[in-house]
Amino acid sequence: MKKILEVKNLTVHFYTYAGIVRAIENVSFDIYEGETFALVGETGCGKSVTARAITQLIESPGRIVGGEIYYNRDGERIDLLKLEEDEIRDIRGKDIAYIFQDPQSSLDPLYSIGLQVSESFYVHGRVKSIKEGIRRAVDVLRTVLLPDPEKRVGNYPHELSGGMKQRVTIGIGISNDPKILIADEPTTALDVTVQAQILDLIKDMKNKFGSTVLLITHDMGVVAGMADRVAVMYAGKIVEMADVFTIFKNPQHPYTQGLLKAVPNPLLKIDRLETIPGTVPSLIDPPKGCRFHPRCLEASEMCRSSVPELKEVENMHYVACHNR
C-alpha cells in the first residue's frame, strides 16, 4: 500500500492566559491511498486539532510546535509544515479538502450557495470567472443530490435545512477532486435518517473520485460502517491504532475497551451501559505518565510515572499501554 499522508510526532500547543494547553503531543500515524482512516475519541481529545494542523489551519493562540507532515503527491514528498502560506493555500482545498463539522458556521450567511461553491473553483484556477463557477456549482450540487440545484445556487444558507447545508459543504469539499478529503464530524446535529444519507454520500464520493478519507468522529457506529483503519485518541495522544475489525474484536487499551462498552448493542439485553469513570483531564496540567491512568482500573505505579510508547502488539496493531 502506498502512503499518501505521513504524520510524525505532531505537537500543537495553545498559549492562553490560564496556561499552555498541550492539545496534541507527539501524534504519529500514516494514511494509505484509497482508505478511510478514522480518528475517534471523546470531545476535546484533539481529533479536530490534528486534522486542522495538516494544512496549517491552527489559529492563534495555537501553534504547531513540533513534528512533520508529509504529503506524497505523484512521487513528490512534500513537507506541509515547511510550506509558505501561498504554497499551502494551493494545496488546501485542492489536494486536501475539508468537510467541516458545523455547516451553520462554516457557510457564510452573507453569500449565496452558488457563490460559495464557485469560489473554490475560482480560487484554484478551475474557472475563469465566478459566473462560470456558478454554472459548474449547479453540477456539483446535483452530484451531492441536493434537490433542485438550479434554484438552490441562488439560496442563502438560512434557507436550507441542516442536511442540505451539509450536502453543500460536501460539494465544496469535492469540487476540486481532492486526493484527501477530511470529514470532521460530518453528521453532527443531524437526525439519524439524514446522518445515514450523508455517510452514504461520502462513501459514494470517495468511490467516484478515488479520494482518501480522514474521518473525525466520536461515534463508534459511524466508525464501524465507514472506516478501514482506526486511531483512538485520548487527551491529545493516540492510545491504540489498528484495522477496524481488530479494534472491535480485540481492543487492547482500557480506554478503547471502555468506549466500546458504552455503545448500545441491540442484540444484547443490557439493563445499564457501562461508563468510563472520572472525567477528561485538563490539558493545561495533564497527568504525569499515562494520561488515562486516573480513570483506568488497571493502572499501576509505572502508569503513574512513565509515559507509555505506542508499540506494535501484533501485525499493524499498536497500543500505548504498559500492561499490554
Q: What CATH number does the domain containing 240 carry?
A: 3.40.50.300
Using CA atoms, how far apart are residues 216 and 50, in angstroms rounded to an integer?
10
Q: With respect to residue 196, please indicate whether it lies within any of the assigned structural domains.
A: no
Instruction: Based on the fold, state whether residues 73 and 220 are members of the same structural domain.
Output: yes
Residue 38 lies in a domain: yes
CA-to-CA distance for 20 and 2, rounded, in angstroms? 37
Peptide bond into 266 cis (omega under 30): no
61 and 108 both lie in a single domain:
no
Looking at the fold, whether 295 and 308 belong to one and the same domain comes out as yes
Q: Do 38 and 172 share a structural domain?
A: no
Question: What was the pLDDT predicted at 242?
Answer: 96
Tens digit of pLDDT per residue, the chain (324 long)? 799 999 999 999 999 999 999 999 999 999 999 999 999 988 889 999 999 999 999 999 999 999 999 999 888 899 999 999 989 998 998 899 998 877 778 889 999 999 999 988 888 888 888 888 888 899 889 888 888 999 999 999 999 988 888 889 888 888 888 999 999 988 876 777 778 888 888 888 888 888 899 999 988 888 988 999 999 999 999 999 999 999 999 999 999 999 888 777 766 677 777 788 888 899 999 999 999 999 988 888 899 999 999 999 999 999 999 988
CA distance 70 to 213: 16
CA distance 39 to 54: 13
In a domain, 202, yes or no: no
Read off the DSSP letter of residue 92: B
Note whether 51 and 173 are same-domain residues: no
CA 148 to chain centre: 30
Same domain, 83 and 184: yes
pTM, entire model = 0.92
Same domain, 217 and 310: yes
Our count of domains for the chain comes to 2
Domain-embedded: residue 229: yes
Place of cell 510550506: 83
For 209, counting Cβ atoms within 10 Å of its Cβ (0-12 exposed, 13-18 middle, 19+ buried), the class is middle
Q: What's the pLDDT at 53?
A: 95
Domain presence at residue 89: yes
| DSSP-derived 3-state class of residue 7 | strand
Cα separation of 72 and 45, whole Å? Answer: 27
* Cα–Cα–Cα angle for 69, 252, 292, rounded to 5 degrees: 70
SS3 content of the chain, % helix, strand, coil (to 5): 35, 25, 40
SS3 48: helix
Q: Do 151 and 286 have their domain in common? A: no
Say if residue 84 is in the same domain as residue 222: yes
Other CB atoms within a 10 A radius of the CB of residue 131 amount to: 11
Residues 223 and 297 both lie in one domain:
yes
Report yes or no on 61 lying in a domain.
yes
Judge contact between 232 and 238, C-beta under 8 A. yes
**Does residue 197 form part of some domain?**
no
All residues at 6 or more sequence positions from 322 whose CB lies less than 8 Å from its CB, including other chains = 290, 300, 302, 303, 306, 308
Tell me: do 53 and 171 sit in the same domain.
Answer: no
Give, as one character, the DSSP assignment of residue 58: P
Query: Coil, strand, or helix at residue 87?
Result: helix
Contact 107, 157 (CB under 8 A): yes
Q: In terms of residues, how long is the chain?
A: 324
Tell whether 116 and 263 lie within a shared domain: no
3-state secondary structure 59-81: CCCEEEEEEEEEEEECCEEEEHH
CB-count burial class (<10 Å; 0-12, 13-18, 19+) for 312:
exposed
In a domain, 201, yes or no: no
Q: What is the DSSP letter of 213?
A: E
Q: Which domain holds residue 41?
A: 3-95+180-191+207-319
